[in-house]
Structure 1
């Protein structure tokens, strides 16, 4: 009589997983960036939401002379005149309303608080829009406030060391950083390598940045790329240096950060809890020579530019 074959039974993976607790991450939002521009700028608190930029009228007329020793009794007389209608900057609001159904927050907030995560992701998106506005806003954005004298075009299309040197002649008084799309920085790196002068790197805020003449190239995907072309900016920063500064409103109700407000708006009859998220900011260029731009920078032909328009 043939021996009976033994059959071994064991608990399978699928059934066993029903008793196991999966480790859950908080929601990952791929559009979050380091927002380096916000970190590199100096931020000035603004009283009552208005910043008045007083400037000297006809600065080229402010001159002094050096008298000879025998002419010391005849001293020159001058005065410094001011612009009578200085520009005023009003803070702009990036605002949205977050709605969360109370049933969702009541039942599904373990291990991660649903309201906290919804607020975190919404605030991150608002901050991304803030950086885009600092660059692209038609009123106070960097690109809209470059004077004609501070605009130059590339010599060959692709960004070269000579192009960045030309930018440095425009912002030569204590330049702080270049600002460019990552594709623009990559194109510059390729041109440097072709010429045998690979740009060195520097560590700032715990990250590595390419540099040129010791000035870091700061990446931001909010710098526009259109039809294979982008721009590279150069900034001087700080009010004391008569540079570029960010503006924010301190002490707003429900303050969660500089100029950032989160306020609970109540629960509707449909059990929807609403939160108002507002970020008040603007940007000022104190003098024209604090900002310059390199136009028509070619970045190559093999990239998906449509994917770069999220925050324009």
Structure 2
């Protein structure tokens, strides 16, 4: 029996589609960001989940005693360095979630992408985004909430200026590592630099381009909120800009994580299979243990109430 397409005597695209292979991607997740803070911090592995920050007691130091000696005095100065009697302790915070996957789904629909691996990958990405946000905004250990009053400054004009960035450098002058700012704050700073005729220098780091100020790179993050919201598309509002020195040897800011976890997938991250129930649902427990510590007050400073709108004074 002969079949003829009476419409145009040709095979239709809709019918041909049924025989075609379809190229497809893994699930794309808009919320994933570069998470520069997590990458740039120096991390310290803990054995017990507790970190004690010992500090020199405020007041007279050995240096003060030595400098107070008369050059003609032959006496050897005597002193000692006292420590804070009640040092702060950091207990690692846990971020956790449970991923459930029907074994029927994972058995039948795992090509070309393994359903279990994709679910775990997306769950881990989501948790790492929350980890980055907590490092900045957590009420107890978040960097924003652990900056000394002496290290907080206000913008001179509202919008960020080169003068503001220089003030931050004056606060963190001992080997500052990087600035951290919302993308819209970086754009506002770049506009002001261009207006003044001092466009910031661009550098290539980690296979990406970043602007710098005084040779210090400015890294973007959407976890520094605008008006308390995580909305990169906002055209106006207020945010903060951080300048950070990182590293334990430099008495800077460090990240804390638990080492040697059962089911450890990466730094401080554990993935554990919890079994399959009588309905065939497989369950996986994902956990991240982390915190952050500011070892000395001058390791971090913040420029507060930064306007991201296009406000200029001519």
Q: Which stretches of structure 1, 4 residues or more, deviate above 4 A after TM superposition? A: 66-70
Q: Does 1:115 align with 2:124?
A: no
Instruction: Quote the residue 2:195 is aligned against.
Output: 194
Write out aligned runs for 1:74-85 (5 A).
74-85=75-86
How far does residue 168 in structure 1 lie from its aligned partner after superposition? 0.6
SS at match of 2:67: coil
8 Å Cα contact 2:239/2:307 also seen in 1: yes
CA contact (8 A) 1:237 1:244 kept: yes
Is the contact between residue 97 and residue 275 of structure 1 (CA under 8 Å) also seen in structure 2?
Answer: yes
Distance 1:258 1:61 in 2: 38
- Following the alignment from structure 2 to structure 1, what is the Cα–Cα distance between the partners of residues 207 and 82? 45
Shift, 1:16, TM fit: 1.0
Matched, 1:259 2:268: yes
**Residues 245 and 285, structure 1, Cα contact 8 Å, conserved in 2:** yes
Q: For residues 161 and 257 of structure 1, what CA distance do their matches in structure 2 show?
A: 38
The reply on whether 1:232 has 2:237 as its aligned counterpart is no
Unmatched segments (≥5 aa) in structure 2: 1-5, 228-235
- Map Cα deviations across residues 216-256 of structure 1 (whole Å, 9 max, x no partner): 11100000100700000100100000000001111101000
TM value normalised by structure 2? 0.91
Structure 2 counterpart of 1:174: 175
Partner of 2:160: 159
Query: Residues 228 and 301 of structure 1 are in contact (CA less than 8 Å); yes or no, is this contact kept in structure 2?
Result: no
- Distance apart, 1:13 and its partner CA: 1.3
Contact 2:188–2:310 at 8 Å: present in 1 too? no
Which residue of structure 1 aligns with residue 257 of structure 2?
Answer: 248
Q: More deviation in 59-68 or 148-157? A: 59-68
Contact kept, 8 Å, 1:135 with 1:222, in 2: the verdict is: yes
TM (norm. structure 1) is 0.92
Q: Does the Cα contact within 8 Å between 1:153 and 1:296 map onto a contact in 2?
A: yes
Contact 1:65 1:76 in 2 (8 A): no
Aligned position for 2:282: 273
Q: Which whole-Å CA distance do the structure 1 matches of 2:193 and 2:7 have between them?
A: 69
Q: In the alignment, which residue of structure 2 is the partner of 1:134? A: 135
Q: Any conservation in 1 of the 2:91–2:291 contact (CA below 8 Å)?
A: yes
Aligned-partner SS, 1:264: strand
Q: Give matches, 1:81-100, under 5 Å.
A: 81-100=82-101
Task: List per-residue Cα deviations over 1:21-40 (Å, max 9, x = no partner).
Answer: 10111000011001011111
Partner of 2:52: 52
Q: Partner residue of 1:14?
A: 14
Alpha-carbon distance in structure 2 between the residues aligned to 1:167 and 1:199: 16
Mark the CA change 1:301 to 1:156 in structure 2 (over 3 Å): closer, same or farther: closer
Cα deviation for residue 8 of structure 1 reads 6.2
Q: Which residue of 2 aligns with 1:71?
A: 73
The CA RMSD over aligned residues, in Å, is 1.7
* Structure 1 residue 11, shift from structure 2 partner: 1.4
Check whether the contact 1:265–1:275 (CA below 8 A) recurs between aligned residues: yes
Q: Aligned to 1:25, what secondary structure does the other structure show?
A: coil
Flag the 1:244–1:7 CA change in 2: closer, same or farther, 3 A.
closer
Distance 1:41-1:10 versus aligned 2 partners, 3 A rule: same
1:287 matched to which residue of 2?
296
Alignment partner of 2:204: what SS?
Answer: strand
